[in-house]
Structure 1
Amino acid sequence: MPNRNIKAERVRFGYNQEYVASKLNISKTTYNLKENGKREFTENEMRILSKLFGKTLDELFFN
């Protein structure tokens, strides 16, 4: 499940959900739903997250 990678990277960087949500310009609640697999990240959000965590889209979402 790719969202596990997102949570793991967020924790590794010491970011809270509110911080990452602000980078994506979404609410913390919406981010929580996406991180927990109840909603999908948009293509643009995936790009932002890959830059934020210094990973390629493949590394972050498809490995």
Structure 2
Amino acid sequence: MAIQGIKKELRVKFLVPKAKLKAERRAKEWTTSYVAELIGLERRQYEQKEKGLYPFHDYEMLILASAFGKKVSELFF
């Protein structure tokens, strides 16, 4: 039961809209389709992740950070 509580708490903490990522994407004038393609997703899947409905995988965060020339923490945390 304790593990479930921790998981729920972390989900609430980290599964939030990615405002920094969205701001960087817009600053570069990149579409959600383009960014989705970078990490091998459909546009709709990427948009759900950017909105905080689903988590990004570690490798997706690394790919995006590299593409934006930023650290993972600058975009996601």
The verdict on a shared fold, with TM-score over 0.5 as the criterion, is yes
RMSD of aligned Cα (Å): 1.2
Aligned residue pairs, count? 62
Larger Rg: 1 or 2? 2
Instruction: Work out which structure has the larger RCO, using CA pairs closer than 8 Å and 6 or more positions apart in sequence.
Output: 1
Percent sequence identity over aligned pairs:
39
The aligned counterpart of 1:60 is 75
Q: Which runs of 5+ in 1 are unaligned?
A: none
Which whole-Å CA distance do the structure 1 matches of 2:50 and 2:73 have between them?
17
Q: Which runs of 5+ in 2 are unaligned?
A: 1-15
Answer yes or no: is 1:6 the counterpart of 2:12: no
1:3-53 deviations in Å (ceiling 9; x for gaps): 101100100011000000000100001001000000010000000110111
Segments ≥4 residues shifted beyond 4 Å: none
The aligned counterpart of 1:37 is 52
